Amino acid sequence: MSEPAEQETIVIIDDDYAIRLSCKKILSKMGFRAETFEDGAQGLEGVARLKPGLAVVDLKMPGISGMEVIARIHEMDPEIVVVVITGYPTIDTAVAAMKCGAYDFLPKPFSPDELRLIVNRGLERRRLAIESRRAEVERALLKRRFVTFVSHQLQTPLVAIHQYLSVLKNLDHTEDAAAKRQQWFDRCLARTGEMQTIIKDWLTLARIEGDTLSRQRVKVDLKRIVADILATYEEMAGQNSVSLEARMPEDACCVRGDRNCLSVLFDNLIVNAIKYNKPGGKVTVSGEAREGEIEISVIDTGVGIPERYRQLLFDEFFRVEDEGCKKTAGTGLGLAISKKIVSEMGGSIVVESEVDAGSTFRVRLLAFRAQAGEEDNNRSPDELSSEEDTDRGR
């Protein structure tokens, strides 16, 4: 943790001058801002004003009792850590103080070390409580955002289907309905398919994150994966007047992973490259095997991605919805899924783009390395045995 922490304030409330002085000295030396008060009323004012992280409170004071002070501080802000000090420690008073909201008990006389210990522990606990509260709020917000987003995604096709059906009912007797019925049934079916894809994609994303997707960890040649995908999309690319090309090296481009996941990963990138392309455009998938790493780039000559969207591109909630932007089918989750798979494999994915010229998605994955005992017929025996020596030496 190299960031300089904001100076924490500690408040000391004790009618004993000597205690106030020594506590202030000890705590100031620890780097805290220490403020002292000689009775409960002033102490409470001080707490309200200074908003400390921790307060040291003496139980026996004239005026407002220590117990009352503890209770009031706790009411003001339950996250302020209260340490009780007293010259008359008993189990009963200890319990009573805890019930009022105190964190811990320090019987007088106490040594500087004892004070330091209790203060550090108390503040650490407070820090953790604040952090976990923040995380919870964030989680709740994310959840709500997700629910709103997905509901809307599913709502749109549902509304369209509902509309078709209710209009068909209303126009049941007309010629127009008879003529349009079949076409509209097809549209309803298409929109149903759309909803199924949305659900499937969200489930895929959840399963990758949740680690419940059954995954193999075998040797996979990315050249094969890429070739298979390009073959699948040849027709669709043709329909869009987009040409496809693979520029892969002579050697195999092997990684360790799951064949299906790797297919999905590159499928999403290649499909996007075709969809967001221009008529007469091109999609090139190039590969490079470097030391310990395989890099696959999917390059298109398409519409490009404006600078302001590039940060958000891999976010599951993000979809470029600029007016006039081509309305393409799909859930918008493709990139989020691809990124998750890449991250899972310890790789990286970056995008370079120029509006109206095209985009390049670069995926870097760790090259396949045979583990001890595994056969790897791509490598020469010399390489293999020297590698095993290195492994053993570790």
Residues that bind another protein (CB under 8 A): 152, 155-156, 158-164, 166-167, 169-171, 174, 176-177, 180, 184, 187, 191, 319, 321-324, 327
- Give strand pairing partners of 49: none
Which phi and psi (to 5°) does residue 204 adopt? -60, -45
**Least distance to another protein, CB of residue 321, Å:** 5
**Least distance to another protein, CB of residue 303, Å:** 16
Contact 48, 76 (CB under 8 A): yes
Tokens of 242: 């987009």
Name which of 154 and 366 has its Cβ closer to another protein: 154
**Least distance to another protein, CB of residue 172, Å:** 11
Name which of 147 and 350 has its Cβ closer to another protein: 147
Name which of 172 and 251 has its Cβ closer to another protein: 172
How far is Cα 56 from Cα 65, in angstroms, rounded to an integer? 14
Name which of 129 and 178 has its Cβ closer to another protein: 178
Name which of 3 and 323 has its Cβ closer to another protein: 323
**Least distance to another protein, CB of residue 277, Å:** 22
Name which of 250 and 322 has its Cβ closer to another protein: 322
Neighbouring residues of 27: CB distance < 8 A, sequence distance ≥ 6: 10, 12, 34, 115, 119
Contact 131, 79 (CB under 8 A): no
Question: In sequence order, which ranges of the chain are alpha helices (DSSP H)?
Answer: 17-29, 40-50, 66-76, 91-100, 112-170, 175-210, 222-232, 234-239, 259-275, 334-344, 381-393
How far is Cα 89 from Cα 5, in angstroms, rounded to an integer? 34
How far is Cα 50 from Cα 25, in angstroms, rounded to an integer? 18
How far is Cα 212 from Cα 382, in angstroms, rounded to an integer? 39
147-161: b (≥16 Cβ within 10 Å) or e: eeebeebeeebeeeb
Name which of 90 and 155 has its Cβ closer to another protein: 155
Please report, in angstroms and rounded to a whole number, the separation of the first and last CA atoms in the chain: 30
**Least distance to another protein, CB of residue 179, Å:** 10
Name which of 30 and 158 has its Cβ closer to another protein: 158
- Measuring CA to CA, which residue among 259, 261, 237 is closest to residue 337? 261
Contact 245, 318 (CB under 8 A): no
How far is Cα 267 from Cα 198, in angstroms, rounded to an integer? 16
3-class secondary-structure state, position 290: strand
Name which of 180 and 369 has its Cβ closer to another protein: 180
Q: How many CB atoms lie within 10 A of CB 81?
A: 25
**Least distance to another protein, CB of residue 257, Å:** 35
DSSP secondary structure code for residue 32 in this structure:
-
Name which of 196 and 216 has its Cβ closer to another protein: 196
How far is Cα 168 from Cα 258, in angstroms, rounded to an integer? 47
